[in-house]
Structure 1
Amino acid sequence: MGAQPTVSDVADIAGVSRQTVSNVLNSPQLVRPETRERVQAAITELGYRPHASARRLRTQKSSTIGIRLDPITTDGISGSILDRFLHALTEQADRMNLRVLLFTASGPEDEIEQFRRLSEGADVDAFVLTSTFHGDPRTEWLIEHGQSFVTFGRPWGIDDMTDPQHLWVDVDGSSGLRDATRYLLGTGARRIGYVGWPSGSGTGDDRRRGWLEAMRDGSGLSDDKIASLEADAEDGVTFGADAMRRLERSAGTVDAVVCASDSLALGALMATAGRIQVVGYDNTPVAASLGFSSVEQPLDEVAAGVLDLLTGTHGGRVHPGSATADPMHRLVAPRLVVRDGPTVIAAARDRARGDVAAS
């Protein structure tokens, strides 16, 4: 098999420069019709096919979005939210003739190295970031290197609602747990606890704020009594159970509890054996199967917002001095999914009582 024809071969046959051949392939409107026809005839005669990777390098348009695949979580619960987001993003991108490229990274610095490799190779046009946090170095690198990107999650720790350097879509976690707490207050509960992540997590602090506002507005408890009704823990079922036990030991009576995640909520349910109402966050399949209430993030709406910011007026970048009035951020409202209660745990408890009575 002979060597594949090159751009130089096409240029020699057509009697034009390599640049003219490149223009015919990538910007045909720049070339006179008669010259364009001569180049096309040479391409047909030689059977020349442009190399896809080389063409992407020239045009910087791969129609591909890069996003890191987060590590699998130990309990397999909380990570499902990002899995569902990836599915929604990929599905909607496909309808727009865009591709999603998944990559892995061991941490923020490793992810930045992936950004460098993928952008230098013209493998992607833009990036989507998840799991944002205070002082996130990833956004600083992308801004400094002029890369198009949108974050799922606010750039915590700055004036994120108006900062012109960041395009982001987020779910209003404060609103979600405020609605959950108000719902429990409406059932007659007053001493409503909160189990969440340690202070310093932007997402966790935002969710805690919703619980605190609702408690101050509607519980009738003093700030000191409200403060005694919270416990923090790392995310995970075991940590949630331990936090719930600590909460009940320190606060005494607890009528109900809201949690920053379904993992923590499941732990709280296990610790209380379904004695009190528990509301989680993320409305994972675990919440649905066990039958406890949870706050649902509208991930289809989040994915649509991310793609709109990447492909619309902004193109994944904010241009200083731009007169466009298009919003640079999307804050999406979640919804509370109310269920009767932890059916599986209640059934197990009833079976245990029956076994004791029969013995």
Structure 2
Amino acid sequence: MAKAPTVEDVAEHAGVSRQTVSNVLNTPDIVRPATRERVLAAIDALGYRRHAAARQLRLRRSSTIGIRLDPYVGGISGVVLDRFVHAITEHASERGMRMLVYAARTPEEEIARLAELWEGSEIDAAIITGTMRDDPRVGRLDDSGLPFISFGRPWGEDDIADPRHLWVDVDGAAGTRAATEHALTFGSRVAFLGWPSGSGTGDDRERGWIEAMRAAGVKGARVVADDSVPQVRASVARALDEGLDADAVVCASDSLAVGALLALSDARRSVPVIGFDNTPTAEALGFSSVEQRPEDVAAAILELMMGPTGDVVAPRRVQSGSAHALITPELVVR
């Protein structure tokens, strides 16, 4: 069996010191870009991978990242986070890291659970999901010293211009903008079906529709409903009774899209409907939808936390321009 490449092999191949290789793996921000790229190329060429058990003993780290398992709620859109957890587990494993999944019903319960795991040295970092405005978890986790990153932006002062922690999010406005531009090929009357105002994610997705309609010089109707298929069906039916006449409908989720399709079918109207999340339901029913690409989100999260090829959580300065990643979603046309 061929001998596995070592750090020394990588250093010799790249023409750098052993410490430089270590810096690229653990604290890449301090290495000059050209040198970093040369080391990364050597790592790829040699197929180097550090032994996780030896690293754990030497650095006294758990090589584990904690993430909450969301309560099972069923429905159409619940599969998105399931896909993300699956993707982050696979990507973490490739870096010699493990995922520890825990349950928590409220933000306070989640904070307490993470404190236990952190104080017990069971995790090196955490990923939080389901961010909200004035999220109570952010300040408490900052105070605890636990390295963390969120899937979902903070939706407040702690955002792109003035970041206070690392985050990765899907650019919802870009997704609905692409969906609306496609919908406009069916006619200028494109309606938007979204959630009540105040939801950061919902408002962002509505913004994409507004921007695309404004760029096209047209206006469209807005219909609001909770993310429940029966309620959506009733809301859209009511809007149709009140005179809604649309050439296409862009929706903030696939659940909303299904409710809209049912209401349109009840009214014997054939109108293209575009969803968001690209769930198996969208594929089964054959309607277009925006794909969030949770696999890309997972890869971006680990890169922000660990560097391009790092296999430990690497502390980094949180500063504007490098503390976040926005993943551009993809419109899947059917």
Output the TM-score relative to the length of structure 2: 0.77
CA distance in 2 between counterparts of 1:209 and 1:164 reads: 22
* Correspondence 1:335 to 2:334: no
Secondary structure of the 2:242 match is helix
Structure 2 alignment gaps of length 5 or more: 1-52
Larger Rg: 1
**What one-letter code is carried by the residue in structure 2 that aligns with 1:257?**
V
| RMSD of equivalent CA atoms | 2.2
1:277-312 Cα deviation digits (max 9, x unpaired)? 100001000000110000001211110000111112
The residue correspondences of 1:95-106 to structure 2 (distance < 5 A) are: 95-106=94-105
Q: Is contact 1:178–1:210 with CA below 8 Å preserved after alignment?
A: yes
Map of 1:110 onto structure 2: 109
Q: CA deviation at 1:233?
A: 1.7
CA distance in 1 between counterparts of 2:282 and 2:92 reads: 28
CA distance in 1 between counterparts of 2:205 and 2:102 reads: 29
* Correspondence 1:206 to 2:198: no
CA distance in 2 between counterparts of 1:271 and 1:316 reads: 51
Q: CA deviation at 1:67?
A: 0.3
Q: CA deviation at 1:73?
A: 2.0
Secondary structure of the 2:73 match is coil
Aligned residues: 274
**What one-letter code is carried by the residue in structure 1 that aligns with 2:141?**
L
Q: Is contact 1:149–1:316 with CA below 8 Å preserved after alignment?
A: no
Counterparts in 2 of 1:134 and 1:116: CA distance versus 1, 3 Å: same
Counterparts in 2 of 1:286 and 1:92: CA distance versus 1, 3 Å: same
Map of 2:92 onto structure 1: 93
Q: CA deviation at 1:251?
A: 4.2
**What one-letter code is carried by the residue in structure 2 that aligns with 1:97?**
G
- Choose which of 279, 282, 298 in structure 2 pairs with 1:284: 279
Secondary structure of the 1:193 match is strand
CA distance in 2 between counterparts of 1:192 and 1:337 reads: 18
Map of 2:254 onto structure 1: 262
Q: CA deviation at 1:240?
A: 2.0
Map of 2:162 onto structure 1: 163
CA distance in 1 between counterparts of 2:162 and 2:84 reads: 25
Q: Is contact 1:78–1:262 with CA below 8 Å preserved after alignment?
A: yes
CA distance in 1 between counterparts of 2:90 and 2:298 reads: 9
**What one-letter code is carried by the residue in structure 1 that aligns with 2:111?**
I
The residue correspondences of 1:50-199 to structure 2 (distance < 5 A) are: 60-75=60-75, 77-187=76-186, 189-199=187-197
CA distance in 2 between counterparts of 1:217 and 1:239 reads: 31
Q: CA deviation at 1:316?
A: 6.3
Q: Is contact 2:115–2:144 with CA below 8 Å preserved after alignment?
A: no
Secondary structure of the 1:134 match is coil
Secondary structure of the 1:162 match is coil
Q: CA deviation at 1:326?
A: 7.6
CA distance in 1 between counterparts of 2:249 and 2:77 reads: 18
Q: CA deviation at 1:249?
A: 3.0
* Correspondence 1:243 to 2:238: no
CA distance in 1 between counterparts of 2:213 and 2:321 reads: 36
Output the TM-score relative to the length of structure 1: 0.72
Q: Is contact 1:197–1:260 with CA below 8 Å preserved after alignment?
A: yes
Q: CA deviation at 1:145?
A: 1.3
Q: CA deviation at 1:74?
A: 3.9
Map of 1:218 onto structure 2: 216
Counterparts in 2 of 1:216 and 1:236: CA distance versus 1, 3 Å: same
CA distance in 1 between counterparts of 2:295 and 2:87 reads: 6
Q: Is contact 1:194–1:231 with CA below 8 Å preserved after alignment?
A: yes
